[in-house]
Structures are given as structure tokens and as C-alpha cells.
Amino acid sequence: MKGRAKDSLKIGVFICDCGREIASYLDTEALARAAEQLLGVTFSQRIPYPCSQKGLTKIREAIRGAGLNRVVVAGCTPRTHEALFRSACQEAGLNGHLLEMVNIREGCAWVHQADGEAAMAKALDLIRAGVARASLLEPYEGIRVQIAPSALVIGGGIAGMTAALALAERGVPVKLIEKEHDLGGLVRNLHTIYPTGQRASELLKIQIEALGKKPNVEILVDAQVKEVMGSIGNYHVVVTSDGAEGIFDVGAIIVATGALVRRPYGSFRYGTSKVITQLELESVLAKGDIQAEQIVMILCAGSRDERTPYCSEICCMAALKQAIFIKETHPRVKLTLAFRDLRLEGDNPEADLQKAKQLGVEFIQYGDKAEPRVTAERVEAYDLLTERQTTLPYDLLVLATPLVPQKDVTVLASLLKVPLDSHGFFPDVRFRLRPRDHVERGIYVCGAAHYPSDIQETTFQALSAAARAFNFLRQNQVVSEGPVAVVDATLCTGCGSCVEICPFYAINLKEKDGLLSTSVVDPLLCKGCGLCAPTCPVKAISPQGSSDPQLMAQIKAVLSSKKGRGKPLILGMFCEWSAYAAAELAGVRRLQYPSNLRILPLRCAGRIDPYHILWAFLSGADGVVVGGCPPGNCHYVNGNQEAERRVAKLVDALAARGFKIERLRLKWFQPDDAPAFVEEISTFVAQIEDLGPRVTPS
């Protein structure tokens, strides 16, 4: 883009009166005339309502008539009106990404109502910045990719089978792979289902038969995912099934790998003959041979502690179910249920509880103090009620141990490029981005792979995942309009910094010339946050529409009215999700704040390069404030933390050289807290004003 000769530019600037809303605070005509003088501007006009039918027609006519190849609309916030003007451009045959909106309403007219002169200066600066950016804008078409109209379901448990069935019902070709030799997963070891009391084996039989009847379902057992190639819409999944290897091309993947019941070797004397897990008891019940006379059940055996902090949801109900069954079939058995605290789901679990008590099941709450101690003959447990140790002799000890993630989840996660949560389950990751910029991955998780859950919940999750997969496949193609990062292969050294930092696993290293490797961006995975750009040591990668030249041009332009004015000038580089939104809101609420703040929007504070800040000071800023989302709220996972770290580093570096670091600040903002924003800004500006203007080197 450096190569472009400026004279080829034909920028059209349209200044909006917004009826009286802008015009009564800013001399829009004067702005239009001033804009005419700017480099590259060949057309400049004031319009009462550019967003009205009439206004849009004017813009379209100007584009065609004056052969404009860039459009700048200075008026209200892009948040509400960009789509409108973008389509107007497109209708006039101009690529929608060649539009730049300058917010002189919320961003200027409404917030500096008192000081007309300063407001005008600021408005002009903003327009300058807009034009500067516009002159460096590049057309962008977006990406369209056909979706392979089939799905892969990983895991043949209840979740997997339900999901596969639901998709097959609606005519989607499904591949269902199970790593065991039989379908059914955990449920295979179950006796009955809670709360329906249905035989687990029947439930499975029904499901498996139903699957068998579906011609469009292909089931592979003893199968495992070996590799996942391709990208959104077209995954090429390499699957090995007893020796043989096959590649499936699918558009959607449903992860239903379930979970394991932990076998707590080394604790609770597990492994000795008289100690079994809750799950193992199920098969005992299925056989129906209970010799024991004294059964003790310990709930939360090794869960909800430091090692496994979460609750496995299902154990309490299962234990209750088992206890009732045992007492009903073997009334003479003495059965004690030691629990931390009962967590029962369903319509009225109380009823089951009563039933158990009537049947003579004994309950002991050992609470959080101490886990029960297990000796060869008895269990020592602290009874919260009686507040003393009690001894429970047993000849069968049943441990309700937690559900834990499958051994190989990390492998699968890295193959699929999806994150795992701290426990090792697949979280329901949602990036809170504009739909236009955000492409669904086509990977969905359900069942215990997600979180320990009972049959009802699992079925629900499976159907829900299937539904989302179905609607994803039904689109036939994915469209991504949002700008993405581009790599200048001639500069890229293949250091892998960007690969490491990308929160969306969107960048890979590819072989180049056989030896050196270079970064390649997957445009469908990239969200254009720009985290990669500052991290690149050679500035080989940057997001479209916010490249370093563009940002620096904006910075320079927006600070240009500095010349000859005594007042210090502050630059705000604001994340559009938080700080910039708050600023707009301040405008809507007509909250006034100092006019010597110049604001530039960024997709994410993580785009900030210390470079830009230095450049801002060089260009005459007396203070710089960087605004981002509060920790944990970053829409791009950890852009705000990145920004924080970089700024901190810069601050150190500057401080070390005696630079007044009060001039540089990084702040978190809530998008809907305009008053806080105004206060924050005002105090910062005040501080800078106390410091006085920076003496720039002549």
C-alpha cells in the first residue's frame, strides 16, 4: 500500500447535520470546506441526514458521479449506522470496506456543547484522522467456504448415539466412532436409570437398534481420531479403526467422549476385595448377587476436594437409587449412606429420600471437616448430627468417586484446537464477537465430556449439540466478512511468536523453501483482534484495516491541531468493546468532558504496540490513555492482559529514562458506565494539564 500514488485517491467526505443534533454545535459547512483541503479528498459535502433515503441516494450518486474510491462519513457512531452506509457504498459499486466513519456526534458535538471552538478543532482532527485512515484502506471481499454436508460424532455413549440419531433423522450423513469395542459408554456398566428406573440395557438396546435402522449412519468401533486436518466447514479427520485408517471429510464434529469414573487406587483401601466403586456396584446389582450384610456407601469419595473441586452431579441420585434397590431386594442388609451434603435433582427428590429412610437406610452426614477413614473392617466417620466420631463396620464398601475427564482428552483437544477447562473438560467456549466477524467452528461438545451430567441432561445436551451442528451444516457455506490478519511472507522469519500468542489457534507455521518456515493465517479462525501484530519482531503480520501505517497515520492526523494551541493534547486509544463504547454512551447521555481528548477506536486494546504510544508522544501528545475491557471480559480472550503487560513494560522502560510516566495510563472501562468514564478521563486530563504541555524536541 505504500506504493500507491496519492493522486489516484478519490476520497469523498460527507458531513452530517443530523438535523440540529450536530449542526447546532458544529459548523458542518465549515467542516465540509476544510475537509476539501485534505490530501486525497476530491469531494466534500454537508448533508442534513445522510442516513435518510435522500441522503443515501446523494452518497450513491456522488460515488458514481465523482468516481469516488473512498468514502468518509462524519456523523454518528459506526455502531449503529456503519451497516447502512456500507450497503449504500456497495449499491454504488464500491467495496464496503472502503468506508470510514468518523463519529463527530457522540464523539464531539454532544460532549463539548459548551466550547464550540474547541469542538470544531476536535471535529476537524477526527475527520483528518478518518481521511488519513481511509486513504490507506484496502478493499476486502471476505471469505466464503462450502461446508461439507456431513458430521462426525466422536464417542458412542448415550450422548454420541443420541446426537448421531438426531442428525441422521434429519438426513445428515453421520460417522459415529467409538474407541471401545461396543457402543454404550458408561451406561453399559449401569443397572437401572434414575429416575425412570428403566433398565440401562434396554435403553441402550433401543438406541443401538434405532441407529442400526439409519442407512446414513456409519458406526466404527475400536476407532480413534488420529489427526484433524483442514479447517472450518471442511475437516479431514483421520480415523484409525482396528488397524485400518480412513479419512472422513466432515463439516461438523460433535465431541461426545464422555468421562471416566475415577478408580481411587491408594485411598479408601480401594483395590481390596471389599471395596468397590459406585459404578462397579451397578454391575453387582445387575447380577443381583449381594452377599454382604453390612454395606456402607461413601459419597464424594475424593471429589469436591482440592484435587477434584467440582461436584459430579450424579452420584447422590445414583447412591439413593442403589440404596433403595438394595433395601427393596435385600431388606435385611444394614445399609449406611455417608454423605458430605446431598445434592438431589428432579421433580421431588424428597420422596425418594423418604422412601429410603422408610426402608431403613441410615444416613450420616460427615460434612466438610474430614473425609471418613477406612480400615479393614470399618469406616470411621464424623457425624455432624451427633457431633462425634461413629464407627461403621462394613463387609462391602461402596465409593461414589468423581467423574473425571477421559485420559486422552488433551490429545483430542489439541487435534481439534479447542481449549480444555482447568478440570480437563471441554468448556462451552463462546467468543463474544459480532456475528459478522465470528465464524462458528462447527465443533460441538455434549454429555459428560462437557461436565458430569445425568442421562436426562446428557440427552438434552446431545440434542442441543446436534441442533447447532444441523443448523451450521444447513447454511451450506460459511461466510466471514470481518477483517483478518495478513502476513507479509517476505518479512516473516518464522519465529512463531504470533502462533504462540493467537488466542484462536488461527496461525500456523508452514514450510517455506524447504527449510525456513513462515506464519500462515487461517482466515476463518482469525478474528482480526490484532494481538499478533505487536508481538511480531519484524512487523510482518497485521490485521486488515488496522495496520501500523494506518494507525500511525491516524495518530499523527488526530493530533495535528496541536500546532499553535496552548492546551495539552491527550490521545485515547480505546478498545471499541469497552472504553470506546463508554465514550459513545457519554455522548448519548450528553455528559460533557474535556475537549482536548482525541479518541481512536481499536478492535482490542491488545492491538496496542508500544511503538504507537511512542509515536503518539512524538507526534505531540501530552498524554496517552489506553482503554480496554476489565480483566476476564476481553472479547479476544486475553488482549487486555497483553496490553497491560506491554504498557507496563513500556512504562518501566520510559521511567528508567526519566520520562514522566504519569503521562501514560492504561485503564479498564465498563462499556455501559459512562459517568465512570467521564470521571476517569477528566481526572487524567486534569493531571496532564497540571504537568503542563510536554516540551517537544525542536
Partner 1 sequence: MIHLTIDNQEIGVEEGTTILEVARERGIFIPTLCYHEALEPYAACRLCVVEVEGKRGSRLVASCAYPCEEGAVIHTNSEMVRRSRRITVELLMASGEHLPLVRALAIELGVAEPRFRLPPDDCILCGLCVRACREIVGVAAISLVNRGMEKRVGSPFEIASNVCIECGTCVLVCPTGALKLEDIVKEEKAVHRWGSPLDHRPCHICGDHNLEAHFSVDYRSFIGEQASGEGQSEG
Partner 2 sequence: MADFSVKAVDDILNGHKEGAEVSLIPILGEIQKRYRYLPREALILVSEWLGVPLSQVYGIATFYNAFSLKRQGKHPIHVCTGTACHVRGAAQVLDRFKRRLKIRPGETTPDWEFTLQTVNCLGACALGPITVIDDKYFGQMTASTVDKLLKEFGVERQKV
Subset of residues 427 to 456 that bind partner 2, contact rule: CB under 8 A: 456
Footprint of partner 2 on 473-532 (CB under 8 A): 474
450 interface partner picked from partner 2, partner 1, none, CB below 5 to 8 A per type: partner 1
Angle between helices 579-588 and 674-691 (to 10 degrees): 100
For the beta sheet containing 223-231, the strands, ordered from the edge strand earlier in sequence to the opposite edge, are 223-231, 234-241, 244-250
Stretch that binds partner 2, among 124-132, 382-390, 422-430, 468-476 (CB under 8 A): 468-476
Instruction: Give the nearest distance from C-beta 96 to partner 1 in angstroms.
Output: 15
When binding is defined by CB under 8 A, the residue of 216, 267, 464, 682 that contacts partner 2 is 464
Look up residue 342 and give its three cell numbers: 446431598
When binding is defined by CB under 8 A, the residue of 27, 30, 42, 49 that contacts partner 1 is 49
When binding is defined by CB under 8 A, the residue of 187, 581, 600, 688 that contacts partner 1 is 581
Q: Would you count residue 344 as binding partner 1 (CB under 8 A)? A: no
Distance of alpha carbon 501 from alpha carbon 635, whole angstroms: 15
Chain centre distance of CA 227? 24
Q: Would you count residue 687 as binding partner 1 (CB under 8 A)? A: no
468 interface partner picked from partner 1, partner 2, none, CB below 5 to 8 A per type: partner 2
Q: Which position has the grid cell 491541531?
A: 561
Distance of alpha carbon 225 from alpha carbon 679, whole angstroms: 55
Q: How are beta strands 396-399 and 275-277 bridged, if at all?
A: parallel
Helix (H) / strand (E) element for 649: namely helix 639-656
When binding is defined by CB under 8 A, the residue of 192, 459, 542, 619 that contacts partner 2 is 459
How is 118-141 classified by DSSP, letter by letter? HHHHHHHHHHHHHHHHHHT-----
246 interface partner picked from partner 2, partner 1, none, CB below 5 to 8 A per type: none
Footprint of partner 2 on 161-220 (CB under 8 A): 162, 166, 169-170, 195
Count of H-run helices and E-run strands, the chain:
18, 32
Distance of alpha carbon 14 from alpha carbon 45, whole angstroms: 5
Instruction: Give the nearest distance from C-beta 466 to partner 2 in angstroms.
Output: 8
When binding is defined by CB under 8 A, the residue of 470, 577, 580, 636 that contacts partner 2 is 470
Q: How many CA atoms lie within 13 A of 2 on its CB side?
A: 3
Q: Rank residues 113 and 198 by Cβ distance to partner 2 and give the closer one.
A: 198
Footprint of partner 1 on 412-451 (CB under 8 A): 419-422, 425, 427-430, 432-436, 450-451
Instruction: Give the nearest distance from C-beta 289 to partner 1 in angstroms.
Output: 37
Footprint of partner 2 on 318-347 (CB under 8 A): 346-347
When binding is defined by CB under 8 A, the residue of 282, 584, 622, 644 that contacts partner 1 is 584
Stretch that binds partner 1, among 178-186, 192-200, 403-411, 648-656 (CB under 8 A): 648-656
Look up residue 268 and give its three cell numbers: 479408601
Stretch that binds partner 2, among 7-15, 85-93, 461-469, 603-611 (CB under 8 A): 461-469
Distance of alpha carbon 401 from alpha carbon 406, whole angstroms: 15
Q: Rank residues 445 and 597 by Cβ distance to partner 1 and give the closer one.
A: 445
Q: Would you count residue 591 as binding partner 1 (CB under 8 A)? A: no
When binding is defined by CB under 8 A, the residue of 42, 641, 682, 687 that contacts partner 1 is 641
Q: Rank residues 282 and 481 by Cβ distance to partner 1 and give the closer one.
A: 481
Q: Would you count residue 147 as binding partner 2 (CB under 8 A)? A: no
Distance of alpha carbon 39 from alpha carbon 509, whole angstroms: 40
Closest of 406, 535, 437, 458 to residue 193, by C-alpha: 458
When binding is defined by CB under 8 A, the residue of 560, 614, 682, 687 that contacts partner 1 is 614
Q: Would you count residue 530 as binding partner 1 (CB under 8 A)? A: no
670 interface partner picked from partner 2, partner 1, none, CB below 5 to 8 A per type: partner 1
Instruction: Give the nearest distance from C-beta 441 to partner 2 in angstroms.
Output: 16
Do residues 38 and 128 lie in contact, with contact meaning Cβ atoms separated by under 8 Å? yes
Burial tier of 358 (Cβ tally within 10 Å: 0-12, 13-18, 19+)? exposed
Look up residue 153 and give its three cell numbers: 460424532
Residues that contact partner 2, how many (by CB under 8 A): 17
Task: Please provide residue 310's backbone torsions phi and psi, each rounded to the nearest 5 degrees.
Answer: -85, 165
213 interface partner picked from partner 1, partner 2, none, CB below 5 to 8 A per type: none
Residues that contact partner 1, how many (by CB under 8 A): 79
Provide the residue type at 173 as one letter. Answer: P
Do residues 391 and 410 lie in contact, with contact meaning Cβ atoms separated by under 8 Å? no
Distance of alpha carbon 38 from alpha carbon 551, whole angstroms: 18
Q: How many CA atoms lie within 13 A of 393 on its CB side?
A: 5
259 interface partner picked from partner 2, partner 1, none, CB below 5 to 8 A per type: none
Look up residue 683 and give its three cell numbers: 481526572
Q: Would you count residue 690 as binding partner 1 (CB under 8 A)? A: no
Q: Rank residues 550 and 638 by Cβ distance to partner 1 and give the closer one.
A: 638
When binding is defined by CB under 8 A, the residue of 503, 523, 543, 620 that contacts partner 1 is 503
Distance of alpha carbon 91 from alpha carbon 631, whole angstroms: 41
Q: Rank residues 19 and 346 by Cβ distance to partner 2 and give the closer one.
A: 346
Closest of 694, 687, 691 to residue 667, by C-alpha: 687
Q: Would you count residue 467 as binding partner 2 (CB under 8 A)? A: yes
Provide the residue type at 524 as one letter. Answer: L
Q: Would you count residue 470 as binding partner 1 (CB under 8 A)? A: no
Q: Would you count residue 162 as binding partner 1 (CB under 8 A)? A: no
Instruction: Give the nearest distance from C-beta 169 to partner 2 in angstroms.
Output: 6
For the chain, give the number of residues: 698
What SS3 class is residue 214? coil
Distance of alpha carbon 299 from alpha carbon 339, whole angstroms: 5
Instruction: Give the nearest distance from C-beta 548 to partner 1 in angstroms.
Output: 13
Q: Rank residues 238 and 691 by Cβ distance to partner 1 and give the closer one.
A: 691
Distance of alpha carbon 388 from alpha carbon 365, whole angstroms: 11
What SS3 class is residue 451? coil
Distance of alpha carbon 528 from alpha carbon 662, whole angstroms: 31
Stretch that binds partner 2, among 228-236, 265-273, 460-468, 529-537 (CB under 8 A): 460-468
Residues of this chain that interact with partner 2 (CB under 8 A) are 162, 166, 169-170, 195, 346-347, 456, 459-460, 463-464, 467-468, 470-471, 474
